[in-house]
Amino acid sequence: MDILDTETYCEELGDDKIIRVMKSVDSFSVDIRQLLPNGEICLTKGQTLTPSRWRILNDNIQEIDDAVKELREGKRVRKMIHLGGNVRLSVQSPYKCVNIRQFVYGENAYNKGTLIATSFGLSLKLAQWEGLKYHLASVNANLPVDVQSIVPCYMSPDHSNQMGFFECRECNPSGNLDSD
């Protein structure tokens, strides 16, 4: 986030999580954060989504919801959606949550090429995920642009060939042609 960011919308998702729209001079972001016990916003636990990442999350709500439904039914679930850069959303049994966090590829002999969750991000309990969905339309209404007008990088003309994809830091953040 930019130091000149201003909060234009904020709602609680339940318990200790909030979602807010942050606007700077030339852009905006959607910020999902944990609250500290004193009610202040925790800057180290949360995830800031760029416009492109927010659009990708919006486009995949039904797919995520289907995975959450299967999780609630006790089925084995392993769903991961790449939002952009190192940020991924995951729903994975037996964990009863939706994770939005940074993932990196392992580099040692034990985990080489395996996606590993980092501590950068947050987990939403299933009730908080429902809260996010409940506020989705209001968040989108408070964006400075129509969410459908946001063009994720993979839909841009420079991604019409494989090299465009491989050179894109949003699509291929590690720069590794084998892992992403």
The domains located in the chain, with CATH, are 6-167 (3.30.2450.30)
Residue 180: the pLDDT is: 43
Per-residue pLDDT at 11 exceeds 70:
yes
Min mean pLDDT across 25-34, 101-110, 158-167 is at: 158-167
Phi–psi pair at 69, nearest 5 degrees: -60, -45
Per-residue pLDDT at 41 exceeds 70:
yes
Residue 172: which pLDDT band, with cuts at 50, 70 and 90?
confident
Q: What is the mean pLDDT of residues 16-42?
A: 93
Give percent of the chain with pLDDT exceeding 70.
Answer: 93
Helix (H) or strand (E) holding 167: helix 162-167
Q: Which long-range contacts (CB under 8 A, 24 or more apart) does 105-109 make?
A: 105/174, 105/176, 105/179, 105/180
Q: What is the mean pLDDT of residues 129-143?
A: 96
Per-residue pLDDT at 51 exceeds 70:
yes
Per the CB < 8 A criterion, the answer to whether 102 and 137 are in contact is no
Can you say whether residue 161 is alpha, beta or left, with left for phi > 0 and alpha for psi between -120 and 50 degrees?
A: beta
Residues contacting 105, CB < 8 A, separation 6+: 112, 113, 114, 115, 116, 174, 176, 179, 180
Kindly report the pTM of this predicted structure: 0.87
Residue 3: the pLDDT is: 56
Residue 111: the pLDDT is: 74
Picking from 171, 144, 175, 143, the residue whose alpha carbon sits closest to that of residue 156 is 171
Q: How far apart are CA 75 and CA 69, in angstroms?
A: 9
Q: What is the mean pLDDT of the chain?
A: 88
Phi–psi pair at 19, nearest 5 degrees: -125, 135
Per-residue pLDDT at 88 exceeds 60:
yes
Q: How far apart are CA 101 and CA 105, in angstroms?
A: 13
Residue 142: which pLDDT band, with cuts at 50, 70 and 90?
very high
